[in-house]
Amino acid sequence: TQLLEQSPQFLSIQEGENLTVYCNSSSVFSSLQWYRQEPGEGPVLLVTVVTGGEVKKLKRLTFQFGDARKDSSLHITAAQPGDTGLYLCAGAGGSNYKLTFGKGTLLTVNP
């Protein structure tokens, strides 16, 4: 069974601060996806990373996939209240199209 450890579980910061969320596993994933979920809504895809060592940027968000494709990070620069939400990482493994989800990081950005 593949497991994905996500940390921190809760994060409360002030507007303008930077933060990093981590997802780690002992398993290799063929790809890893990051989602953001706001209260009352379904998860919305932010990015998919596929290649080991890959870095993708989405405005103030930077996503990195580890060289060995076992871990990933999400870094947010100058966080804003609109970034508040539940951030979920999810790994896809080999020929198995199913996703393994981390436990999520509940981010609160205070104005």
Partner 1 sequence: SAVISQKPSRDICQRGTSLTIQCQVDSQVTMMFWYRQQPGQSLTLIATANQGSEATYESGFVIDKFPISRPNLTFSTLTVSNMSPEDSSIYLCSVANLFETQYFGPGTRLLVL
Binding segment for partner 1 (CB under 8 A), chosen from 33-41, 52-60, 62-70, 76-84, is 33-41
Site for partner 1 in 47-106 (CB under 8 A): 48, 88, 90, 92, 97-99, 101-104, 106
Number of shown-chain residues binding partner 1 (CB under 8 A): 22
22 lies in the site for partner 1, by CB under 8 A: no
| Helix (H) / strand (E) containing 92 | strand 85-93
How buried is residue 90: exposed, middle or buried, by Cβ count under 10 Å (0-12/13-18/19+)? buried
65/101 Cα distance (integer angstroms):
15
3 lies in the site for partner 1, by CB under 8 A: no
